[in-house]
Structure formats: structure tokens, C-alpha cells
Amino acid sequence: MNIGNITLSSPVVLAPLAGITTLPLRLIAKENGCGMVCSEMISANGLIYGSEKTRCMLNSVPEEKPLSVQIFGADPFVMAEAAAMVEASGADILDINFGCAVKKVIKTGSGVALMRDGFRAEAVIRAVRNAVRIPLTIKIRTGWEASGKQAVDIARMAEGCGVNAIAVHPRTARQLFQGKADWSIIAAVKHAVSIPVIGNGDITSPQDALAMFEQTACDAVMVGRYAMGNPWIFSQINALLHHEEIPVVDIARRREIMIEYVKASVCHLGEKPACLAMRSRLGWFVRGLDGSSRFRESIKHVSSETEAISLVEDFTNTLAG
Ligand SMILES: Cc1cc2nc3c(=O)[nH]c(=O)nc-3n(C[C@H](O)[C@H](O)[C@H](O)COP(=O)(O)O)c2cc1C
């Protein structure tokens, strides 16, 4: 699977998740066989008007590569300038958000709002395409109505403007994350263009991923919410695609990954912010396990790396014993 001149080691990629796909989670996903990691969406305005917090979102390390950085905005000039900054930061791929359906974003004409304004959408894509040499992708939704016509139209237009791949999350703007993703829209987009299409939506097992490949003929699959507490899903999907035995994640491996996540968070965010994040995030990794609510309770006030690691060890020891 190639996106422009970038070759992915696996056709299974991590979805952009605001506030979640920061560097620590991306590293864990990559280490577990993910073929491409994506940043959370980054405001083009924030980047060009010098917000330090926004610029920090571009921080990366070589071990996570290839990294796709997603920007959102509606002004072609601002988007082009922000795109150039992303390229200068060393990102491998630039992605434009055509899918965010949060009111605050739509109100500015960004995200999925671009899907009902073909003229502006094209201006944004052309401006960004002219501003960078790295591969350019877009991530779209079904559009504003269920037929998916807007998705197909935008995809065709994007291909004509030199976009290198398209990720499709087949829910309408109004659906947000409700209902089932309509994979037939991924198939329709794939049928309409010759550039790679990345299918996304509702993958929660290796079998789901395989079904998406089979039903849509997509070139890669993208996993979002399920990867949050189950980053090993990437290696499991890879195994199924290679007709290998699907690796079972036992308690020891789960503990290893949770501790790695704590350490990566402390290393890249600093101990205090990492601990604040761990208070909710470590809970993702234990969903459904015996005693998980007790564990979630115990990490609510975690305040140091050592404490976080020892709580993970205590919890996983009780399960292993
Ligand atoms: C908490 C959260 C944050 C998200 N942030 C982004 C984002 O920054 N950019 C984006 O394109 N999509 C974002 N999405 C959408 C996901 O990338 C993905 O399209 C969606 O969750 C469907 O895939 P899934 O069923 O595998 O989770 C977000 C979704 C969630 C739940």
C-alpha cells in the first residue's frame, strides 16, 4: 500500500482522534503493527497564528513514522500556510479534515461543512496541494445525506486536484457517531476513483477488518475508537490478513503495553500532564475485565509514574493469579 511516495508497512492504519491520538498512543499503535499513524486534527488558524499549544501538536519522533498530520480549516490561504508548516515539521503525509461534524467546527465552514460547499472544498484542496510536496490525503464522511453522492463527488474532484488517497468514514454529518457505518459508501468511493481508498468505521475485530476489505475493495482500513484500549488490534488484523494465527493478548502482554503507555506519556508529555491523562486513559485498556471498575477507581487520583505503574502491576497480578 502506497500513499504517494510513502510505502506503508501494513494496510491497517490508526484514525485521527482529537485529544487521543497524541504521540504516546501513536507510538503504542505503531509498535503493535499499525501501518500509519495520524495526528489528532490541528487547527490551521492555531498553527499560523502562533499558538504554542497548537504547534506542540506537531511534535513527533522517528519511531512512529510514517506520520500523517491532519489539519482543519476553511480558508484556502490559511490552510496552505498551515500545510507548509506541517511539511516543514517533518510530517510524512498531510491530511485535510472533511469529516468533523462538531457544531463549533461546522460553524466556521470547516470539517464536514466543506462537503456541502464544493467550490470552497476545491479551493482548499488546490491551495494546499500547491503548498506542499508531501503526499496529500483527505478524510471525508458520507456527506449531508445518506446517498453518499457528496462523498463520490468530493472524491472525484480531489483525485483531479492531485490528492493521493481518501479515507472514508461512512456516516452522515448529522449521524455524528450514531447508527451503523454504511460500508457501501466506501465501495462507491472506491469504484469512483483510482487513488487508494481507506475504509473506516466500526471495526472492532480482525474479522471486521477482513469483511471491510472484502465488501468494499478498499486499499486499507482505519481503526479509531477500538484502538484506544486495544492497540494490539493492528497486529491481530495483520496476522489475519497473512493467514497467520491471531495473537492472543494475555494479561502479561496487556500489562506490558499499559506500562509502555505510561512511560511514553511521561516521556513525551511530562509527569504531571501524563498522570492527569492516565486517570481516564488507563481505564480503556481494562474494559470488560474482572475488577476493571475497581482499577478505574484506583487510578482516579494517580499522581506519579511510579504509582501508575504499581497500580497497573497490582491489578494485572490479581488477574494473573
Ligand atoms: C473522540 C473522537 C475524536 C475524533 N477526532 C477526529 C479527528 O480529530 N479527525 C478526524 O478526521 N476524525 C476524528 N474522529 C473520527 C474518527 O477518526 C473515525 O472516523 C470514527 O471514530 C469512526 O471510526 P471507528 O468506528 O473506528 O471509531 C474522532 C472520533 C472520536 C470518537
| Domain layout of the chain by residue ranges | 2-241, 251-320
- The answer to whether 224 touches 19, Cβ cutoff 8 Å, is no
Its sign, for the CA torsion 186, 68, 40, 288, is: positive
Task: Give all strands of the β-sheet with 220-223 in edge-to-edge order.
Answer: 12-14, 220-223, 197-200, 165-172, 136-143, 93-98, 67-72, 37-43
Parallel, antiparallel or unpaired: strands 197-200 and 165-172: parallel
What is the per-residue pLDDT for 320? Answer: 75
- The answer to whether 222 touches 209, Cβ cutoff 8 Å, is no
- List residues near ligand 1 (CB under 6 A): 15-18, 20, 40-41, 70, 97, 99-100, 139, 169, 177, 200-203, 223-226
Grid cell digits, residue 146: 445518506
- Whole-structure pTM value: 0.97
What is the per-residue pLDDT for 107? Answer: 97
Distance CA 261, CA 206 (A): 22
What is the per-residue pLDDT for 315? Answer: 95
Among 252, 262, 216, 253, CA closest to 233: 253
In a 3-state reduction of DSSP, which class is residue 6? strand
Residues belonging to the active site: 100
Cα 222 to middle of ligand 1, angstroms: 10
What is the per-residue pLDDT for 321? Answer: 66
Peptide bond into 16 cis (omega under 30): no
CATH fold label, 2-241: TIM Barrel (3.20.20)
Among 2, 8, 12, CA closest to 234: 12
Cα 157 to middle of ligand 1, angstroms: 23
What is the per-residue pLDDT for 296? Answer: 96
Largest CA distance in the chain: 62
The secondary structure of residue 90, as a DSSP letter, is T
- The residue nearest atom 26 of ligand 1, judged by CA position, is 224
- With the most atoms of ligand 1 within 8 angstroms of its CB, the residue from 22, 26, 225, 226 to mutate is 225
- The answer to whether 126 touches 76, Cβ cutoff 8 Å, is yes
The CATH architecture of the domain made up of 251-320 is: Orthogonal Bundle (1.10)
**pLDDT < 50 regions, the chain:** none
